[in-house]
Amino acid sequence: MPLSQVQIIQSLAEALSWFEKELGWGVAPAELNHLTGRIGELYAAMITRGQMALATNQQGYDVVSADNERISVKTVTTSSHVSFNATTFDLVDRIIVLRLNVDEGEASIEELLDCSAEDARQNLRYSGGKYIFPTSSYGRPRRDIEDLKITASAWHGTHLVQQYENGTILVETSGTRAATAKPVLRMIAGKIGVDLMNGSGNPKNTRQLGADIIRVLQEEAIV
């Protein structure tokens, strides 16, 4: 049964939430291939206002866009490449390659490639009946976090918790930035009474926990 755009968006949110939950249980991203693939297909269906292909194990493509494009979607986490079957490549109109990045247990989707199948064919490497796309050499360079504005901050003892305009939370202790913010945030949360769980009963991610800690510390400072 076709899904509405609202259902696709809701399903994507639920799949990402489950992915982060599995990470919290200690499962390596590379072991979540089935879930990773589903996230990629839902994302592609969302941005193209399309539908997942109805047939189980549909050959060649995974999504049909609102413009009737047959799209092959590949999603990776740590893999250095993806491959497309050359024998079914003629069934494809467009390819989308995504990378699911994981930062401190939080997942985000990065678009590595989105182009017509014909354009892709000219640039993909052919080997053993497959077209190969090297994901390791693609992706947008990251700008320094210092280029962004700090939108909120608060002190707890020697710990400075800062929130940047993209939502990133960083923690400094006595002037030294923590390599990983989450452990320090958990310690602070325990001392000031901030719940580690969100309203759905799942662990808060770094951004949620950091924002809640800053809010409580700022309220205490006003009092």
Cβ partners under 8 Å of residue 27, min gap 6: none
Indicate if the pLDDT at residue 194 is higher than 80.
yes
pTM of the model as a whole: 0.75
For residue 146, what pLDDT is reported?
80
Residues 6+ apart with CB under 8 A from 215: 152
Domain 5-137 belongs in CATH node 3.30.420:
no
Tell how far CA 27 is from the center of its chain. Answer: 16
Q: At what angle do helices 33-47 and 5-24 cross, to 10 degrees?
A: 150
φ/ψ of residue 92, rounded to 5 = -100, 135
Q: Comparing C-alpha atoms, which of 97, 82, 76 is closest to residue 127?
A: 82
Cα atoms found within 13 Å of the Cα of residue 185, Cβ hemisphere only = 30
Write out the two tokens for 165.
């305009």
Distance between CA atoms of residues 34 and 54, nearest Å: 17
pLDDT band for 56, please (50, 70, 90 cuts).
Answer: low
User: Percent of the chain at pLDDT above 90?
Assistant: 55
* Phi, psi angles (nearest 5°) of residue 50: -110, -155
What pLDDT does residue 176 have? 93
Which amino acid is present at 95? Answer: I
Does residue 2 surpass a pLDDT of 90?
Answer: no
Q: Reply yes or no on whether the pLDDT at 84 is more than 80.
A: yes
Q: Domain locations in the chain?
A: 5-137, 145-222
**How does DSSP classify residue 145?**
G
Q: Write the pLDDT tens digit of every residue in 136-191.
A: 776 666 677 788 899 999 999 999 999 999 888 999 999 999 988 989 999 999 99
Per-residue pLDDT band at 59 (split at 50, 70, 90): confident
pLDDT at 79: 87
Q: Which of 50-54, 114-118, 146-150 has the lowest mean pLDDT?
A: 50-54
Phi-psi region of 205 (alpha: psi -120 to 50; beta: other; left: phi over 0): beta
